[in-house]
Amino acid sequence: MNILLIGSGGREHALAWKIKQSPLCDRLVIAPGNPGMDALGECRPVKATDVEGLVAIARDIQADLVVVGPESALAEGIADACAAAGIPCFGPRKRAAQLESSKAFTKDFCKRHAIPTAAYETFDNVPDAREFLKSYQPPYVIKADGLAAGKGVAISPDYQDAVAEVEAMLGGRYGDASQHIVIEEFMTGEEASVFALCDGETALVFGWAQDHKRAFDGDTGPNTGGMGTYSPAPIVTPDLLDITRRDILEPTMKGMKAEGNAYTGVLYAGLMVEAGKPRLVEYNARFGDPECQVLMLRLESDLVPYLLAAAKGNLKDQPVPKWRNDAAVCVVFAAKGYPHSPLTGSVIWGADQDFGDDVTVFHAGTTRGEDGSLRAAGGRVLNVCARGKTIQEARDRAYDAIAKIDWPGGFYRSDIGWRAL
Ligand code: AMP
Ligand code: GLY
């Protein structure tokens, strides 16, 4: 098979690493990819949002499958364009991807289908929103409706701050993405990410993990795209998975189909778990990053048949995926200043060394300088991932490896996995 993989982050590097191991994969082309992915496939400098350019590559290589990593490509309609070109695509249509790209869409959908989530209201003007806030207790949860690169959620400690957030968002802080806002009930509990592959009818649970969203140790500092993950996450018990399937994933598949908006690709359910009961915090229409990296390290089955089955609508014929008994941990090495203003351009030494079989370093925001040096080119730059018999062992290996990488311009959290230990 010829496969086109779209994206350039750690998530896509991990997908490329796993796809490349498949005996089904003859040729892997990646757009745009990153320096770490060079060795796995042919990287072409076309952006993930350039739908025309991507379809042209897919045609050129006679792709049997297009695998979409990031939400930006989905929101631009890559899956619709592939469908029009008759090319199987792993990823939802733009309208179905609203489960990620519009919080108001998802909340209304949950209400229609009795899917457990926080109570909420949607607003497009400040006076109504300000009045509504008075009916809630702090902390206040205020969300931009649209995609805001993971920054569109504010948790305000008091009424004053909440009103300021409402004014800033409705005043256009995130452009079109915050013309509407959602104000919702604050949920307590522990968060977990559960992934399901979907083909429009069937949702097949495909791993779970726990992320660390805050920038600094002890879950302090600003929210980020994720600073580290581990899998399996002990909070995700077989019971919790059953309830999640029954009350959240299956009603979502049925509801989307019934509304003429069948969902395919991967559905990432961000859950809040309290007393063994899950509620939906949000849906994403893609794999999590860095969650995907620990999942790929643990996946024993060939990934490609699953991606193809999701794209072609025959997931129910696939066996339950096999996972290694090992645990996996990913520690994100980010550029200083991330998430607000990461400093780029600094040189990284030692990322390419052989760390042994149990350690894999996935690249994200890296670039090669003219002198061949590896340099920081983004916020999250490297992802140091390791397997081990236990989370403790995997984590020790990841931290041993990261200590061997010489990058004064970077920082990482030293407590990834603390909840599991
Ligand atoms: P989201 O982008 O919707 O996942 O929100 C980002 C983060 O904000 C989540 O991972 C939670 O930590 C937090 N959050 C979002 N909604 C709520 C809520 N209703 N109650 C408590 N925390 C929330
Ligand atoms: N790690 C969280 C996300 O991918 O949204």
Residues paired with 385 in a beta bridge: 330, 360
* 379 CA from centroid of ligand 2 (Å): 14
Reading the block at residue 340, the tokens are: 């607000």
Which CATH number among 3.40.1190.20, 3.30.70.3280, 3.40.50.20, 3.30.70.20 corresponds to the domain 2-93? 3.40.50.20
Q: Which atom of ligand 1 approaches the CA of 213 most closely?
A: 10
Residue bearing the CA closest to ligand 2, atom 3: 288
**CB-based contacts of 31, cutoff 8 Å, min separation 6:** 4, 5, 6, 43, 44, 45, 46, 47, 48, 53, 54, 57
Bridge pairing between strands 214-216 and 203-211: unpaired
Which CATH number among 3.30.70.100, 3.40.50.620, 3.40.50.150, 3.30.1490.20 corresponds to the domain 120-184? 3.30.1490.20
CB 193 within 8 A of CB 291: yes
CB 334 within 8 A of CB 227: yes
Q: Which atom of ligand 1 approaches the CA of 187 most closely?
A: 20
CB within 6 Å of ligand 2 — which residues?
Answer: 211, 225-226, 284, 288-289, 291
Residue bearing the CA closest to ligand 1, atom 16: 281
Question: Closest Cα to residue 4, out of 61, 45, 79, 71?
Answer: 61
Which CATH number among 3.90.600.10, 3.40.50.300, 3.90.550.10, 3.40.50.720 corresponds to the domain 327-411? 3.90.600.10
Q: Does domain 190-317 have CATH number 3.30.470.20?
A: yes
pLDDT at 89: 98
Q: Which atom of ligand 1 approaches the CA of 184 most closely?
A: 19
* 235 CA from centroid of ligand 1 (Å): 18
Reading the block at residue 354, the tokens are: 């052989």
In the chain, what are the domain boundaries?
Answer: 2-93, 120-184, 190-317, 327-411
Length of the chain: 421
Answering whether pTM is above 0.75, one says yes
pLDDT at 85: 98
pLDDT string in tens for the chain (421-residue length): 999 999 999 999 999 999 999 999 999 999 999 999 999 999 999 999 999 999 999 999 999 999 999 999 999 999 999 999 999 999 999 999 999 999 999 999 999 999 999 999 999 999 999 999 999 999 999 999 998 877 789 999 999 999 999 999 999 999 999 999 999 999 999 999 999 999 999 999 999 999 999 999 999 998 899 999 999 998 999 999 999 999 999 999 999 999 999 999 999 999 999 999 999 999 999 999 999 999 999 999 999 999 999 999 999 999 999 999 999 999 999 999 999 899 999 999 999 999 999 999 999 999 999 999 999 999 999 999 999 999 999 999 999 999 999 999 999 999 999 988 8
* 191 CA from centroid of ligand 1 (Å): 9
Residue bearing the CA closest to ligand 2, atom 5: 288
Nearest-angstrom CA–CA distance, 288 and 31: 19
Among 103, 181, 282, 291, residue to substitute to test ligand 1 (most atoms within 8 Å of Cβ): 282
pLDDT at 148: 84
